[in-house]
Amino acid sequence: MNFEVVKAIAQLRKPGDLMADFSKLSSAPDHHDVRQQHHSPLPPQSKSKRIVTQNVTSEFFAAASALNTGQLVKDEYFTLFEAVGALEIMDPKMDSGFLTSGESVEHDYDVLRELLPEEVLGIMDQMLCFEMTWHMGHPLSQSLFTSAYIDQLLWPDPKTLEQARFERDKTSGPGNKLLHLVLRAYCLGLVKTCDFVRRRIMSEHYYEEEDFVVSLYHRKLLDDFELSDISTKIEDAMAFVTKEIESMDRPFRDALLNRLQLRKTLLSAVQSDGFLDRQRARLWERCLELLPMLSQTNKLGVPIENSFGIKIQRKLASSVPPRPIVRISFDEALSRLSGICQNGRDAYRILDSQAGTRLMTFVLTYQSRIPQPSIYIRCLLQSLVFSEMRVLGTISLKQLLFDDFEELVLPADILVDPANGDIEAPQDPRFQISKRMDAFVTKAADAEGIDTELRKYTKEEPIRELSAPNEEIWSFPLSSWAYYYKLRQMEWIVQMGFELDIYQVDELAGMYWYLDWKPLHRPCVRAEVAIYRYLQHLASTRLQHIERIRTFSAHRLKRIANPTLKQKTSFRRSFSFLDFATLEASATQSFAEGLSCLFSFLAHLGLIPAPYHPLPYGTPALRYSLRVQPFLSVSLPEVPSYPEFASRVSLHTLERDAGDPSHQTASTKIETNDQAVAILDFADQALKAARKDWEAISKTKAETARCVGCEDWWRASVKNIVRACITANIMIATSKKAMSKAASQDAREILKVEVVKSNELYHAWWMVPRILPK
């Protein structure tokens, strides 16, 4: 093995030289594979005068012989990450330049051969499949860039659109118009579409590498060229196909026109300029209309498998080993594309949502639909929500926040009066208010401090309770607003844990507890188990907080002698929000409590493992600590300590290892287990209340539920929660019936429990177990 290259690189002076030299290595045909020169007695001479090459093979082996077998040479900054990235030269799975004997470096395919209409159709549909695998998160190097046609168009980098063609040496070579006019136009449209898609995604938040690979391997996606010029090429191609009555049968012409039309429309739908225009929804709709014909005519095409090849990866600037081409079926590609078009169209409905609370409902509902909208669509939605410092293209961030403050905590309040910003006299309280509100909006810091300062300008009257007339209770509007959203986010974090299948069965009762925690009442709740309890705690805290907000708003309304119509409207809107939030928090709390009790009941009878039961390693307290870790830095609401938690979920009555089915104890006998029956009764009550609440939510008007613009999806989601509630009620009935029939038996002989995975549930946040009589 030769090591000239190693030495040559070592002699480069600046890191920039290294890059420059590598690009030469990959572009100059005679340097394609340095390992081809194994047996050359002379080292290759670089054209650069600054580089002197020298054969260091013998020096290398001499140096290596000083090491023991297995000995590792590395510095302390060389981490596992780097180690895993290391490649082994001459291993075909890792070495992209490795050739078996007689194998050629170049991909062997003639891009200039004449094409038949069916072949053009076949290639177009293959390309569509690869375009979709790229949308699914696979790199271009394993999808579109494996096409010999795309490679020929994009490399060497075309300086003009005219250069982006299949015969790169300018002289018109062989090939026919189907190739040079039709397939080329299709490819140009495709590549430019990818350019817009990639730019949209890169301008937003996404998981690079996991959700989407932006890498272009030193290629460009025609980003210097105008959409209109490329559209013209597609139109020219369409005009050509339309006229080819003699040489092509009607079905082929129609199928080609369909694909060219789709390319043209898709290109306009994804283009960056004017993306906030509602008319874009119409373009997506037109793409959708073209799909049935695309699907029907796919069978006319003849795929050209060898026009795609893994060897093309070698020409791409990349440090990763060769990776297999990722293929999907045409039907799958079509269903992906159809999803993108539908979601693209539907995304524009967000422009109807306007106010903050509605916008929130839209984003949550839209993004959580199943199947999940593709990464491009999710980024498009982000851009619609916020771009160029505007929300939905028209609203400033300050307007959005002020509107939300008004709806939640400050109806018709001077703090959110937009006229404050016009006051220039510092002695005017409104000037002071405006200054502080701006500070809160831009920094979102120290809400309590700003609330306290604002009091003297708003002349707030505190509430005094009859029982303690000397105690002043202040509204703290900005802190209240922030706390509301904090609680909301904590609930979402806990609930997403269900969606992601993070929790183990024995934790479930407790996590729901966190959503609805009612301290120090109901002795039976002591016997509860771990996650639904947690959820219950959070929802309950939110309910109390909404009540506090309502008290202050009502107090302020009472003090307005003759409220104007505008004031009345503002208060009405706020109370309507608080009423709905109360219903929703109460529904969450009841459902969490019900499931918590149900899991607790199951654990009590040994049907599922007891919460945080002893295991060979770690302790229950340490596992609890690990689970609540994300919340430990949150001072309010405080995370219950383990002893407090344990006393509530009563781990101590269940010291046996319930994970061991051979273990029988008295507590699994139903007759000795009145406590289990009592817990089941609590579950029953809570779940009945939950069903009532969720049914009420499902009947709420769109305006009240703040789901304008996404009403259909929102209702579908609520309906699924109602179904989950009903299922839970049925599970309770099954348990009761089985237990009353066989009172003296071991519960494990009459009932069995199946914990359902999140994707098989009616709603991923509500993990209703399947309880079956044996």
Partner 1 sequence: MSKATLDAPAELRYVQYHSSKERTYLSAIRQLISDDLSEPYSIYVYRYFLYQWGDLCFMALDEDESLIGVVISKLEPHRGGPMRGYIAMLAVREGYRGKGIATQLVRKTLDVMIERDADEIALETEVTNTAAMKLYERLGFLRSKRLHRYYLNGNSAFRFMLLIKEKSAAYEYEDEAQPQLPIRPPST
Where b means 16+ CB within 10 Å and e means fewer, 335-347 reads bbbbbbbbbbbbb
State the minimum distance, in angstroms, from the CB of residue 125 to partner 1.
23
State the minimum distance, in angstroms, from the CB of residue 534 to partner 1.
14
Q: How far apart, in whole angstroms, are the C-alpha atoms of residue 545 and residue 192?
A: 52
Q: Of 336, 682, 302, 361, which is closest to residue 509 (Cα–Cα)?
A: 682
How many residues at the interface with partner 1, by CB under 8 A? 45
Contact with partner 1 (CB under 8 A) among 156, 171, 207, 371: 207
Q: How far apart, in whole angstroms, are the C-alpha atoms of residue 679 and residue 600?
A: 7
For residue 473, the 8-state DSSP code is: E
- What 377-382 contacts at long range (C-beta under 8 Å, 24+ apart), as own/partner pairs, is 377/340, 377/343, 377/344, 377/347, 378/204, 378/206, 379/200, 379/201, 379/203, 379/204, 379/205, 379/206, 380/200, 380/275, 380/344, 380/347, 381/347, 381/350, 382/204, 382/205
**H or E stretch covering 673:** none
506 or 593: CB nearest partner 1: 506
Contact with partner 1 (CB under 8 A) among 232, 342, 368, 625: 625
Amino acid at the residue 327 = R
State the minimum distance, in angstroms, from the CB of residue 443 to partner 1.
22
138 or 314: CB nearest partner 1: 138
* Per CB under 8 A, 205 contacts partner 1: no
Q: How far apart, in whole angstroms, are the C-alpha atoms of residue 349 and residue 362?
A: 9
Contact with partner 1 (CB under 8 A) among 10, 64, 66, 80: 80
522: left (phi over 0), alpha (psi -120 to 50) or beta: left
How would DSSP label each residue in 326-395? Answer: P---HHHHHHHHHHHHHHHHHHGGGGGT-SHHHHHHHHHHHHT-SSPPPHHHHHHHHHHHEETTEETTTE
Which range binds partner 1 by CB under 8 A, 309-317, 617-625, 702-710, 759-767?
617-625
State the minimum distance, in angstroms, from the CB of residue 94 to partner 1.
6
Q: How far apart, in whole angstroms, are the C-alpha atoms of residue 366 and residue 704?
A: 18
Contact with partner 1 (CB under 8 A) among 210, 246, 273, 674: 210
208 or 465: CB nearest partner 1: 208
| 3-class DSSP state of 212 | strand
Which range binds partner 1 by CB under 8 A, 403-411, 495-503, 682-690, 736-744?
495-503
Contact with partner 1 (CB under 8 A) among 10, 64, 86, 389: 86
Contact with partner 1 (CB under 8 A) among 228, 617, 636, 643: 617
Amino acid at the residue 715 = R
Give the up-direction half-sphere exposure of residue 598: CA atoms within 13 A in the CB hemisphere: 35
Which range binds partner 1 by CB under 8 A, 85-93, 124-132, 463-471, 547-555?
85-93
Amino acid at the residue 154 = L
Residues 670-689 that bind partner 1 (CB under 8 A): none
Contact with partner 1 (CB under 8 A) among 279, 633, 744, 759: 633
Q: Of 420, 392, 394, which is closest to residue 405 (Cα–Cα)?
A: 420
Tokens of 757: 């995975």
136 or 293: CB nearest partner 1: 136
74 or 521: CB nearest partner 1: 74
Cβ atoms within 10 A of the Cβ of 693, count?
Answer: 23
Contact with partner 1 (CB under 8 A) among 12, 161, 300, 502: 502
Q: How far apart, in whole angstroms, are the C-alpha atoms of residue 747 and residue 670?
A: 6
242 or 619: CB nearest partner 1: 619
Contact with partner 1 (CB under 8 A) among 44, 97, 137, 339: 137
How would DSSP label each residue in 304-326? Answer: -GGGB-GGGGGGS---SPP-PPP
Which range binds partner 1 by CB under 8 A, 186-194, 588-596, 623-631, 690-698?
623-631
* Per CB under 8 A, 90 contacts partner 1: no
85 or 462: CB nearest partner 1: 85
Residues 139-198 that bind partner 1 (CB under 8 A): none
Residues 36-75 that bind partner 1 (CB under 8 A): 68-72, 74
State the minimum distance, in angstroms, from the CB of residue 192 to partner 1.
27
* Per CB under 8 A, 622 contacts partner 1: yes
**H or E stretch covering 465:** strand 463-465
* Per CB under 8 A, 84 contacts partner 1: yes
324 or 426: CB nearest partner 1: 324
Q: Which residues bind partner 1 (CB under 8 A)?
A: 68-72, 74, 80-81, 83-88, 91, 93-94, 137-138, 207, 209-211, 321, 323, 500-504, 507, 615-618, 621-623, 625-627, 629, 632-633, 659
